Amino acid sequence: MELSNYELVRYPSGQFVLLRTGVNAQGLPASGPRDVVAAFTSEMEAQRALRRLAGINEVAGTPTALAG
């Protein structure tokens, strides 16, 4: 999973929202609408979710398979 397809946004309310961006023909993030993947109240939880999306094992730092 490409992390460049995702954004982590912190809102003034303190909420962290993980967004997925579209990709144009050149493989760069598109300027269109974004999909909300998840919302978090903790930056640590949001960062952990991003690492899971990238397939990075938090303990060993090695890739891991994702179910689904």
Q: Which residue has the higher pLDDT, 46 or 25?
A: 46
pLDDT category of residue 67 using cuts at 50, 70 and 90: very low
**What mean pLDDT is predicted for residues 45-66?**
70
Domain boundaries, the chain: 3-54
pLDDT score, position 53: 84
Contact call for residues 50 and 18 (beta carbons, < 8 A): yes
**21-54-65 Cα angle (round to 5):** 130
Give the C-alpha separation, 27 to 54, whole Å: 17
pLDDT score, position 31: 79
pTM, rounded to two decimals: 0.66
Is the pLDDT confidence value at 5 over 90?
Answer: no
Contact call for residues 46 and 19 (beta carbons, < 8 A): no
